[in-house]
Structure 1
Amino acid sequence: MFAVVLSVLAAAMFATSAAMQQRAARRAAPDVHDRALPVRVFLLVRRLVKDRWWLTGWILNVFAFAAHAVALHVGSLTVVQALLVSQLLFAMLTIRRPPARAWLGTAAVCTGLALLVIARPSAPHTLNRGDAGPAVLVAAGVMVLFIGVAHVLPSKTEAKLRGALAGVAAGVCTCLTAVFVVLVTDTLARDGVWGLASDWATIGVIASTTASGLLTQDAFAAGSLPTALTAISIADPLASAVFDATVFHAGWRGVLWWPWSPIVVIALLIAGVALLAAARVQDRTPVPVG
């Protein structure tokens, strides 16, 4: 029960933090959205770190991460990760008069992701590092593709689409961070701290963590909070599932992962995204200045 309470608390704080940071990013975006991608991201970050609203959200995100870590320590990984998906529902509370289709879409996405998380395999006892390199390159290529498509679209393109594409890239990058963490902890267990100096995954952790943070803020700046957060929340577990199957060679839990379950997950995610895309939502409160 303690893990359940911490998981729900972490989900609420993650959602609130995302809402605060997204509002700050949206306020800073109009002056930089026409710049080239590297310049835009640099200018966006420079403005955000001076924004008290964004900094408060970042501090709240740190507390959320701590609560999530404690929940993982005292509770089941499956239960904690499934409950963390509820941050999408908490994010809806930041929306002004959300329509019924938005609630239905969010519930469908949460249900699909929860089923995917529950059915995901446990981490394998052995790791074939030879499979990791090519898979990381493919994932990085997919991430770059989504970034490129998001930023070559005409400026008149609907912001939701740009935010969704940037959110997918951020979600894939978040998955890469988790993969690098697995590789780094494997090196740490085998070779100790000194082994990290020669492990390419150590650099990967630093690079992917930085990139995922920047991409997340870019996704927040491009579109609405439900769009960006949904894209990130879908891309991360789906990419993780692919890595589980191809790199870690871990099987799905037979009791929970019936033959028709992938169809159910895909159907729920598609239905949820379609409903959210059709819903017109607004922030509950205006973004404060300063």
Structure 2
Amino acid sequence: MNGQVDYTKPLPYGTDLGRLNPACTAGRHGTYTAFRDGCRCPHARDAWRIYQKRHREGRAEPRRFDATGVRRRIQALWAIGHNSQAISAATGGRLSADNIHLITKRSAVVASTRDAIFDAYRRLSGKPGTSSTTRRRAVAAGFPSPMRWGADIDDPNAKPDPAGSPRKQPAVVDDVAVQRALEETGVELSTEEQTAALRLAVAKGEPLSRAAAHLGINYFGARKLLAGDLTPRRAQQQRVEAALTEMGHLTDSAIGALLGVHHQTVTRARARLARRQEQLAS
């Protein structure tokens, strides 16, 4: 065991690296805390020496960490249907389901707890869980999903994105597709490209109603696009397409569960993106 464990790093409380000094009568052995409790085995002496040196030089690793990121990760996993039992299993049994509930009420955690939750989050955050009850309770409590946090999940001052929204990517407008849409019918455009096409048509003096009809857009929806005020349906389409851009390797059902939309909504969005790609290639 001694060859597999770096005793100079923080270890879970109660770790015993084994007796090396036959004359040592301490209850546990090998770590700096064991040395403090009476162990005089060689590796305990070395761990204590390194611990004291790091403290003198201001390089000591903190024994406890801010629990903000840990708490948010657990709540985010709940929000996509992973119950505490599933999270516990993803930690390899290092944390029980009861412990996971208690962790969300703490302001600080030890390194082993933090690492266990981080590992579970990496395993589970990209796929929906199986507990609809957990998901429903988490949504009712207002817990954001993983997609709403992105890379800011550990920042205590960060706020989650609006409900169901993935991290927004800069909008890309294909000028060629916009021009083709004004000259032809049936050209697939993104919301941003539809807005650009409408603005270009109106700037050329074409009535908005005619431009909207040519593009296959409802007149009142076109007015909202020009005003920068998306309808709920278009806002949802935009969210789903952004999620497909980021996580297109996941199934439609998985993305739908992460966003809280029906999987057929994702399927339709995937088809729209595929048609756009075909148009760009033609």
Rg larger in 1 or in 2? 2
Using structure 2 for the length normalisation, give the TM-score.
0.24
User: Which structure would you say has the larger RCO, counting Cα contacts within 8 Å and 6 or more residues apart?
Assistant: 1
**Structure with the larger helix share:** 1
